[in-house]
Structure 1
Amino acid sequence: MSHLGFKIKISGLVQGVGFRPLVYELALKLKLLGEVKNDGFGVEVLLLCSYEECLEFIKQLKNNLPPLARIDKINILKDTLKAYNCFSIAPSEQSAKTTPMLSDFALCKECKNEFYDPNNKRFHYPFITCTHCGPRFSIIKNLPYDRINTTMSEFIMCDFCQNEYKNPSNRRFHAQPISCPECKISVYLKNNQGEILSTDENAFIECAKLLKQGSILAIKGTGGFHLMCDASNEKALDELRIRKNRPKKPFALMCKNIESVKELAFLSKSEEELISGVLAPIVILKSKKDFSLIAPDIDKLGVMLAYTPLHLLLFEYFKGVLVATSANLSGESIIKDEYDLKAKLDQVFDYYLDYDREIFNSSDDSIAQVIGDDIMFLRTSRGINPYYIESNFNKKGTFLALGSELKNEFVIFYENKFLISPYIGDLKGVDTYERFFKLLNFFQQNYDLKFDAIICDKHPHFLYTKDFKQTFKIQHHYAHFCAAYFEYEENFKKDEKALGFVWDGTGYGDDGSIWGGEIFIANLKEYERIAHFDDFKLINADIKNIYNLALSVIWHYDLENFAQDFLSKISQVKLKNLKKIYTNSTLKTSSLGRIIDAFGAIVFDLEQSSYEAQIGLMCESFYKKDLDFSYKLYVENGKINFKELILGALRDEKSKAVTGMLNALANFIIEYSQNYDLEVILSGGVFQNKTLIEILKANKFDFFMPLKYPCNDSSIALGQMVHFLKKD
């Protein structure tokens, strides 16, 4: 006998997050009959009830979502259902493989409480987890997301874990990574030759002793190994910088708790919520004192809380703060297995802490900063990506956007949704290049994808684009604009144009030169370059030699008479040779990122930059909010003249010069925007500068800037894709 009822199709992040147990509990509470099950598109709920009861069920469902769940779409269909005499969780139906894969998440409060409870079976167990937290993407080998398809398949559940796993009223119902000390994942402390020195909890006790003694350890986390040392041990910090060949780039820090973070840095309410939330990214904070060995020459610290029970167990025996930087060679991927660790970094670490569950997919720590109450993500990986977006585009087909060569993430469009990959990195190295294709093949195979079109950057020499034929090419900075526009598309009328300031370090321009200081009038269909920073010659392609950049802009504006002090630091023979190279150079750029580097080379007397954004971070440290001073930028024939910035760098002391430069950029944006009755969009790596954004906000200037999707090159693929889908 059949009855009228409702079929509810729910898509989003609804599998492996405790969603079906919530549906089960709500149905029991509301005394509804039917069933819930996973399918290839999400979750399907069948209810024998009235329409009013169905709406109440959905209302309570939305108001009580599990921490990791996200509903993107709900479809309610009236349907004829079989007779039910109870409500149950039915076996999964896997058809088309469109179910999202979740990222890896920080330990939840419930598991944390159990971890610290001496009476709990999982007391001090370094792999305690449930459906509200823990590993997902790092352990998935294939879909569907069942234990047999993960790296947990080798671990047989004990009776205790089995009972929790099968109980729909338990938060560990179908928690695929579930284990306990009885069916445990084992931990090993080893020397750099791979010899086991200690196991399980004793390994953590010995780790803490070694760290206090000044040793450098490689410690396996969720998505790969970190190199760790005592952040208060100067000798260990110096040694890590020497061994990793990292003279100036800041180290990230890991703290046990919020109290420890507050001893190091200022922490707003929004920053505290972010750093202690389920995403647990590295958060960029203003330091309370000088940390010259951790973050030389800047007043910012990148800090994260211990986000796994493994890290918490280490902090049970180590009292203090740890450096936690990715274990990798410069420019390569984070190392995820013992073999590569020993092969590549055996001269960097003294000991390593390993465990016997494989990491199948590596992932880097995500990075964010808070500006006012806005969270701006600078890197989207652990806790965030892979990320899925339900789409309103009507284009049929399966498409791939390859993204940029630097800070790469790719985007796949299929079944009318976007899939944004985790952060991959810079594709100039063989290791990261291979990681790109391994991850792409992983998604292709699991979702059974064949691409109808490939979208890529216009640069003619990106190696990874050469593996694909018949590509659709999109200009780099326009892709930046499109990604930002897409994030705020609901604020624009159909095809409404915006004024876009797209400022970064480098990108191949339509004219074959290097762009990076662009102003567009554009929408998702088309763009017009209406102005740009005055393009100047480059002495060579080595952008780390920022003295050469300084020389280029000095010669560009004929400022030798004002630059005698700076020029005297370079030998006359070298100057003569560099001037010849400059005169004959055909390499030109409009990049504001390179202009800022040239400015910083003069102001800070820095010959080489050690890492990207070094000058920008140093400038933030010297900015004086109470100094009412600005240089002047102005437009001549569509080119932004920045001569005053360079004159100021040659003439003024550090704080005045830096304040004048950042105020000049903000004032120019505000004044130039007054010429157009258009909404303003800011994008590109320059706008990661928190101080610049704060100046604009202090002036009550209205603009849109990327927050959810990074304003740097990680979002190039997203911009490529949305333009491709929108174009006629």
Structure 2
Amino acid sequence: MKQGVRYEISGLVQGVGFRPFIYTLAKKFNLNGEVYNDDSGVKLKIWANQNDIKAFEKALFNELPQLARIDEIIKQDCDDKFNDFSIIESKSDKKFAPILPDFALCHECEQEYNDPNNTRYKYPFINCTNCGPRFSIIKALPYDRINTTMNKFNMCKTCHDEYTNPLDHRYHAQPISCPDCGPTMSLKTKNAEILSIKNDAIKQAAKLINDGKILAVKGLGGYHLICKATCEQTVSTLRERKQRPHKPFAIMCRDISQAKTIANINKHEEQLIKSNLKPIVLLQAKAQSQIAKNVAPNLDKLGIMLPFSGIHLALFEYLDCAIIATSANISAEPVIYDEISLKNHLNDVIDYYLDHDRDIYSPSDDSIAYVINDKHYFVRTSRGLHPYFIHTKYKKQATILALGAELKNQFAIYHNSLIMISPYIGDLKNVATFDRFKSVLKLFVDTYELKFDYAIADMHPYFLNTKYAQELGLNIIKAQHHQAHLLSVIFENNLSIEKEYVGFAFDGTGYGLDGNIWGGEILKIKGREIKRLYKFDEILLIGGENSIKNISQIALSVILKYDLIKEANWFLQNFDKIKLKNLTKLHFAAKNCVKTSSIGRIFDAFAAVILRKYSISYEAQSGMELEALYDESLDVAYELEICNGIIGYKKAFINALKDKPKVAATAFINGLANVILAIAKEQKSEILLSGGVFLNQQLTKRLHFILKQNDIKYYENIKFGANDSNICIGQLQYALIGEEHER
């Protein structure tokens, strides 16, 4: 017996091949009906036998396209009858489809790329409905070719036939093109003189890279700086030109086999690095490999990714080794994505550049991830992940802007039950990055015609994004930084907001309720209520922010606080005597000093004495180098003292001043894990873990082990990242608490 059914499907169901997927299933299961997009997702009506409908519903989830995600299905009876099945035009009064991130090349396109009989054999711009650029080329919605930077390329008949065929995997793939109608590669000197085009350009570019030259290569969301990863001299030249003395470079390998020659890769790491995200994956480096030691100095891990576009596959046809593929930018600025900016800012860095004429409208960075205990954790969420749209169960009709943090910024928007999360933007203290924040926000506002009811911001009084929101005339609610970290864990893990938790918020900087800089906080949290249970013993940052890179000054602060001048005599001898005298005066007078309880700064202090290091050149360098020294075979842990709500580390610091580096690094990290365990056992509560310090893999692995041993339930950030990129999520959760109690 036939019946009519109507489905309302929401989630990631537009621009991902969902309607042709439905069309294929309809033909397979003898369904008649229609499917179309509208403002809230996909609407589907079918007329068929009950058994066929049941088989269709099972296949709907089991065979879902790789980029699609179903968040909710509403099913109702329907009186409409049909004689065939068709895809009909969208029914929309508003522009509401999600802006999707750029995706790495899918398996089917990669097979076609390598097939000599295929039209797109070795074609650098090959893509389909399941892969390729999205966010980087969209200028407006609806997501039609006319609203993308592909509009200037007219489809040939072959591409048009594929584009209009519901059974083809390029059906409505807006970036569709082929060698006859698509973009063109060109190799240029740094003065923009064209040396060669198309495949000759790629071949010549690869030869230059093999010869030790440094090239900028335009990809999906911007340019990469690319050079040989096996030549120390070439890497040194790149470091000198880019003024990046120590921060590790990402590596791109030809394939998983090449990646396994330079790093240890388990099956879960292999799954991640080969996934359709193609992120940079942090992997344990092999001691004996051909990769130059100065690619990641003093670290035991390498950030490795595989080619994620036809452009990179084409280069590897002619490359003779793995390559450095790092964002083409000035330090701390956004990735460069247009030719003019490349010539203006990196002309002294590059020797040549490999360009193409598909314009990038919005840049995107590479996502970064790692694996712990078979789970995929994300450090940076951009290409393949963000923008990210979540359909929630909140019913509030409002539009709320969560501004996020100033460092590692991402913003989020709540609009009538939908949450939109921006891609990674970066550190807003930089003018170019702040301009990017404003331009990406404008893209969302203009695209969805948003008018904010209010904004929610960090408590810090001088953040640029907060000032910008004030200039826009928005009413602003403020949420404490570390509370937002913990609320992001509650949101991500769909935890009850009525329940009480103990949260560990460990990071580098966050404006505290008392006006001081927090960062080593143990908070009792329930809904919007927080109570500070413990904090790490505060130190003074002598010289304020100036000491963040000069970590010897942070160590000096600990030495002076705990009166350890005798024990630290060997360390202090390396200071200029006059400078040491002046810094000591500032400390005891508390002039030009900032008080902080930050674990990030305590890491810096320990790193200074353990590593005999007096300054660092990039954020988290201290923690990463201590992590590299960690030795799982050592059963050592420094004891941290807990007294009257203060966690002290005097004894630990004394030991660190005299212990061997491996012992000291291991004992310090294990000591931090042990103090978390001790407080968790005392509080007898489920715990939350958030903040950039928990990106330290050795600390996290140790914590997982001892918390599970003691049957303590813990929750953490996994897909949204533990660092400040999750602040916007916590801010939105803070705003929505009290509006609705269920998501």
Fold agreement, TM-score > 0.5? yes
CA deviation profile, 1:140-189 (whole Å, cap 9, x unmatched): 11101111111111111101111111111111111111101111211110
SS in 2 for 1:138: coil
Matches within 5 A, 1:20-35: 20-35=19-34
CA–CA distance in structure 2, aligned partners of residues 646 and 11 of structure 1: 54
TM-score, L = length of structure 1: 0.98
User: What stretches of structure 1 of length at least 5 have no aligned partner?
Assistant: none
Q: 1:594 maps to which residue?
A: 601
Match in the other structure for 1:530: 533
Q: Counterpart in 1 of 2:96?
A: 98
C-alpha displacement at 1:326, in angstroms? 0.4
**Alpha-carbon separation, structure 1, partners of 2:552 and 2:528:** 40
The C-alpha deviation readout for 1:294-346, integer Å capped at 9, x for no partner, is: 00001010000011011000000112101001000111110011010001110
Shift of 1:50: 5.2
How far is the alpha carbon of 1:101 from its aligned partner?
Answer: 1.4
> AA paired with 2:598?
S
CA offsets, 1:97-134, max 9 Å, x none? 22211111111111111101111111110001111111
Equivalent positions of 1:347-496 (< 5 A) are 347-469=348-470, 470-490=475-495, 492=496, 495-496=498-499
- By how many angstroms is 1:689 displaced? 0.5
Q: Aligned residue pairs: how many?
A: 723
| Counterpart check, 1:724 vs 2:723 | no
Q: How does 1:105-254 map to 2 (within 5 A)?
A: 105-254=103-252
TM-score, normalised by the number of residues in structure 2: 0.96
Question: d(CA) in 2 for partners of 1:56 and 1:506?
Answer: 54
Report deviation, 1:22. 1.0
Which piece of structure 1 moves more, 68-77 or 308-317?
68-77
Give the whole-Å Cα distance in 2 for the aligned partners of 1:449 and 1:370. 37
Instruction: Please state how far the C-alpha of 1:422 moved relative to its aligned partner.
Output: 0.1
Give a deviation string over 1:501-554, Cα, whole Å, max 9, x none.
110001110101000000011033221111100111110222111010000011
Letter in 1 for 2:554: L
Q: Which residue of 1 aligns with 2:333?
A: 332
Say whether 1:501 aligns with 2:489: no
Instruction: Tell me how far apart the structure 1 counterparts of residues 374 and 618 of structure 2 sit (CA, whole Å).
Output: 28
Please state if 1:618 is matched with 2:625. yes
1:265 paired with 2:263, answer yes
Alignment of structure 1 residues 508-519 onto 2, 5 Å: 508-519=511-522
Report if the CA contact (8 A) 2:500-2:525 is conserved.
yes
From 565, 574, 583, the equivalent of 1:569 is: 574
Report the alpha carbon displacement of residue 52 of structure 1 after superposing the two structures with TM: 5.5
Amino acid across the alignment from 2:376: I
Cross-structure match for 2:724:
713
Please state how far the C-alpha of 1:486 moved relative to its aligned partner: 1.1
Residue number in structure 2 paired with 1:79: 78
Range moving further from structure 2, 557-566 or 641-650 = 641-650
**Is residue 203–residue 315 contact of structure 2 (8 Å, CA) maintained in 1?**
yes
Q: Counterpart of 1:399 in 2: which secondary structure?
A: strand
For residues 55 and 391 of structure 1, the distance between their equivalents in structure 2, rounded to whole angstroms, comes to: 27
After TM superposition, the structure 1 stretch with the greater mean CA deviation from structure 2, 602-611 or 474-483, is 602-611
SS at match of 2:36: strand
User: What is the DSSP-based 3-state SS (H/G/I as helix, E as strand, rest coil) of the residue aligned with 1:140?
Assistant: coil
Which residue is 1:293 aligned to? 294
Partner SS, residue 355 of structure 2:
strand
**1:61 corresponds to:** 60
Is the CA contact 2:162–2:170 (under 8 Å) kept in the aligned structure 1? yes
Asked whether the 8 Å contact 1:524–1:722 carries over to 2, the reply is: no
Q: 1:572 offset after TM fit, Å? A: 2.0
The C-alpha deviation readout for 1:640-696, integer Å capped at 9, x for no partner, is 011122112211110111111011011111111111221011110000000011112
Matched, 1:656 2:655: no
Match of 1:582 in 2: 587
Provide the residue aligned with 1:16 in structure 2: 15
The match for 2:347 is 346
Distance across 2 between alignment mates of 1:570 and 1:610: 19
AA of the residue aligned to 1:725: L
Distance in structure 1 (CA, Å) of the matches to 2:395 and 2:163: 40
Give me the whole-angstrom Cα distance separating, in 2, the residues matched to 1:321 and 1:234. Answer: 13
Alignment RMSD, CA only? 1.3
SS at match of 1:370: strand
SS of residue in 2 equivalent to 1:675: helix
Following superposition, the deviation at residue 347 of structure 1 comes to 0.5
Matched AA of 2:480: Q
Return the offset for 1:51: 5.6
CA distance in 1 between counterparts of 2:52 and 2:165 reads 26
Separation (CA, whole Å) in 2 of partners of 1:357 and 1:368: 28
Q: CA deviation at 1:4?
A: 6.5
What residue identity is the alignment partner of 2:522? I
- More displaced, 114-123 or 404-413? 114-123
> Kindly, what percent of the aligned residue pairs are identical?
49
Contact kept, 8 Å, 2:30 with 2:48, in 1: the verdict is no
| Mapped contact 1:411–1:721 kept (Cα < 8 A) | yes
